[in-house]
Structures are given as C-alpha cells and as structure tokens.
C-alpha cells in the first residue's frame, strides 16, 4: 500500500527473494550477446537463484539491444510473468529514455518486483519511482561480476533479507562538504541521465530528498556544465542532502573534483558528503532508491531503510 506522509509519497517495496526464486535478465539499453552472460549466470547460481533470459539478450538494432518495441515488450513480459520475482538489467549504455514513455507503470504497481541496475538505468529508476511509486535498486550490473569486489557482491544479500544499509568510513574514506543531519528519500544516480530528464514528463523531483550523484568518463567542464543545468533548473534549491558517489575517468585529480563539488553544494545549508563508492568502480555499493535515509555529515554515515519487505 502507498502511504503519504506530510505530502511525500512513501514508496512501496517488492517482496524479498528466497533461494530458488526466478529472476529475469533483460537488456533495456545497449546490446549484449548471450555468450557474455557466463559469469553473470554463475553468480546467480551462487546466490541460489534461477533465471529467465529475456528476448533482448542477443537482440540488436543499431546500437541498441533490439528495437524500442522489442525492449519494451521484454520488460513488460518480465513484469507480467508471475514466476519472475526480480528484474536484473545486464548492461547500461543508452536506450532507456527511448522506451520510458511507453511503459505501463500501472502494470508494475500491480505486480511489484525488484528492479536492479545503474548508469543508463537511472532514467528507469526515476520513472518507476515516480509513476509506479515503487522502490528500485541502484546497483552493479551482474555482467560485471568479474570486476566486483566482495563487499559489492554481498550487497545483493539485501534482496533476500530486509535489512538497513549503513555506509560508514569502514567502506571508504568520506569527506564532509557541508555539515548537518538530513532525513529524506533517496533519489538520483548517473548525473548525465539525471540532466537528460529535465524538461520531460520524467523530470527528476528533488524537493526534500537526498540526491545521489555519480558518473564516468566526464571531464570537469562537462560535470560543471551538468551541475549548472541542475542548478538553473532549481533542482538544488530544496534538497534535504547530497550523497556524492564515484566520478571515475574524469581526467582530473580528486582535489579538483572536490573543489567543483564545494562550489555547488557547500552553501546549500544541507548536509553534503563525498567519497561514497556508488557508481562505476570495482566497489559499487548497491542502494535502494525511493526509501527513507538519514545522512549524518558530522558522523559521516548514511543509513538507509530496507528496499524490500
């Protein structure tokens, strides 16, 4: 059931997984060959999960994993399938924005199940959080199992047992840009994809929320430009807090990136902490989006409520 507290929608959570459950594998963005799934399927075996490989795996249309109609149909099929308890996106790239407007979000509301992915899937997270009122998971693609470290792999266990995620400096060094304590729903993901929602029906809503940001292969000027666009779109005006994740392959040192973040976030009068290993790195901590979280910038800790029930 969807509850509203103080005008804020409390998102529904999907049922947790149990060993023996079936999950669906789809490619909603760039193309992927069936032969590339070997390590991913082995990892699912380790988790005790069965799987159905979607029709988009092995499909190709230009630079996409099949036509828009094929990717949309594969997603809807997984949502409708009563055996499928979770939908894992196997690759990012580009493509989600092309099908977002045609998705039947009521269908997903009526058949709530775990949705997992990141990067290009940020567009899907925002759309599903908003139009299905459903919590989703920002986590590493199972295609990258070989590159994941052990702590990243363990984060999949939160799908089996409802548990609070607590991120502290035990995982990575954190830097406080602005102090304070905030409580709010988590939203966000890939900066480039967040900016691409502006001016559309899927425009990200940030009021009273804790914004998560990450990206890869963007230069400092490009990151500056995108943050400026968020600022001018007034998406930074009424935040509860900011979680700055991994910005990799920026061709800049950490100090330069931190200075840029300080320019945008230090004077917002909300807690802002940088250094979270959330994004395109070997350590990619999976977090649920759409749930309540507490960001304590003084103690450098992020506590997140369970993303399943």
The verdict on 150 and 281 lying in the same domain is: no
- CATH number at 141 reads 3.40.50.10740
The verdict on 289 and 179 lying in the same domain is: yes
- Burial class of 1 by CB neighbour count within 10 A (0 to 12, 13 to 18, 19+): exposed
Domain edge (last residue) among 159, 181, 201: 159
119 included as an active-site residue: yes
The verdict on 86 and 148 lying in the same domain is: yes
Q: What is the pTM of this model?
A: 0.96
Active-site residue among 29, 152, 280, 281? 280
Q: Rounded distance, CA 185 to CA 188, Å?
A: 10
**Are 120 and 99 within 8 A, CB to CB?**
no
- Paired tokens of 234: 């007034």
The verdict on 141 and 184 lying in the same domain is: no
pLDDT of residue 251: 84
The verdict on 130 and 238 lying in the same domain is: no
pLDDT of residue 87: 98
The verdict on 143 and 244 lying in the same domain is: no
Active-site residue among 70, 130, 214, 218? 214
214 included as an active-site residue: yes
Residue with tokens 């292969």: 217
Range of the domain at 117: 3-159
Q: Is residue 309 part of a domain?
A: no
**Are 33 and 25 within 8 A, CB to CB?**
no
What are the DSSP calls for 260-281, one per residue?
Answer: HHHHHHTTSSS-EEE----SSS
**Are 128 and 105 within 8 A, CB to CB?**
yes
Domain edge (last residue) among 159, 191, 216: 159
The verdict on 68 and 147 lying in the same domain is: yes
Phi, psi angle pair for 214, to nearest 5°: -155, 160
Q: Is residue 194 part of a domain?
A: yes
pLDDT of residue 283: 98
Q: Is residue 48 part of a domain?
A: yes
What's the total number of domains in the chain?
A: 2
Q: Is residue 77 part of a domain?
A: yes
Please, which residues bridge with residue 116 across strands? 88, 137
Residue 145 is given by DSSP the state: G
Please, which residues bridge with residue 213 across strands? 189, 244
The verdict on 142 and 175 lying in the same domain is: no
pLDDT of residue 6: 39
- CATH number at 210 reads 3.50.30.60
Q: Rounded distance, CA 49 to CA 112, Å?
A: 18
- Paired tokens of 175: 């830097």
Please, which residues bridge with residue 185 across strands? 292
Counting as low any pLDDT under 50, the low residues of the chain are 1-7
21, 88, 179, 185 from 127: Cα distances, Å: 26, 16, 31, 15
Q: Rounded distance, CA 142 to CA 51, Å?
A: 12
Q: Rounded distance, CA 256 to CA 259, Å?
A: 5
- Give me the helices (H) in the chain, please: 38-46, 68-80, 96-99, 105-110, 122-131, 150-154, 191-196, 220-232, 254-265
The verdict on 93 and 203 lying in the same domain is: no
Q: Quick one: which H or E segment has residue 185?
A: strand 181-190
The verdict on 145 and 233 lying in the same domain is: no
Q: Is residue 67 part of a domain?
A: yes
Q: Rounded distance, CA 202 to CA 194, Å?
A: 10
The verdict on 75 and 199 lying in the same domain is: no
The verdict on 136 and 150 lying in the same domain is: yes
Please, which residues bridge with residue 12 across strands? 134
Helix axes 220-232, 254-265, angle to 10 degrees: 10
Residue with tokens 């149990």: 18
> Cα–Cα–Cα angle for 169, 139, 136, nearest 5°?
115
Domain edge (last residue) among 159, 178, 201: 159
Active-site residue among 119, 152, 196, 246? 119
**Are 55 and 74 within 8 A, CB to CB?**
yes
């Amino acid at each position: 059931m969807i509850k509203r507290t103080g005008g804020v929608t409390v998102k529904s959570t999907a049922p947790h997984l149990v060993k023996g459950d079936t999950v669906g594998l789809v490619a909603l963005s760039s193309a992927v060959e069936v032969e590339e799934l070997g390590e991913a399927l082995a990892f699912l075996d380790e988790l005790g999960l069965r799987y159905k490989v979607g029709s988009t795996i092995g499909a190709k249309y230009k630079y996409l994993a099949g036509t828009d109609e094929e990717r949309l149909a594969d997603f809807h099929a997984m949502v409708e399938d009563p055996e499928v308890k979770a939908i894992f996106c196997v690759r990012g790239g580009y493509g989600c924005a092309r099908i977002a407007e045609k998705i039947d979000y009521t269908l997903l509301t009526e058949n709530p199940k775990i949705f997992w992915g990141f990067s290009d899937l940020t567009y899907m997270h925002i759309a599903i959080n908003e139009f299905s009122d459903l919590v989703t998971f920002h986590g590493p693609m199972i295609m990258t199992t070989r590159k994941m470290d052990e702590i990243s792999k363990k984060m999949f266990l939160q799908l089996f047992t409802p548990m609070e995620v607590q991120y502290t400096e035990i995982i990575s060094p954190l830097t406080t840009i602005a102090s304070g304590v905030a409580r709010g729903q988590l939203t966000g993901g890939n900066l480039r994809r967040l900016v691409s929602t502006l001016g559309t029906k899927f425009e990200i809503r940030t009021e009273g929320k804790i914004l998560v940001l990450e990206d890869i292969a963007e230069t400092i000027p490009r990151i500056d430009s995108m943050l400026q666009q968020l600022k001018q779109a007034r998406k930074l005006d009424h935040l509860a807090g900011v979680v700055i994740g991994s910005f990799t392959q920026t061709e800049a040192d950490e100090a330069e990136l931190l200075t840029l973040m300080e320019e945008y976030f230090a004077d917002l009068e909300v807690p802002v902490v940088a250094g979270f290993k959330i994004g395109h790195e070997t350590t990619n901590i999976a977090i649920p989006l759409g749930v309540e979280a507490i960001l304590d910038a003084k103690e450098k800790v992020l506590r997140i409520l369970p993303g399943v029930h």
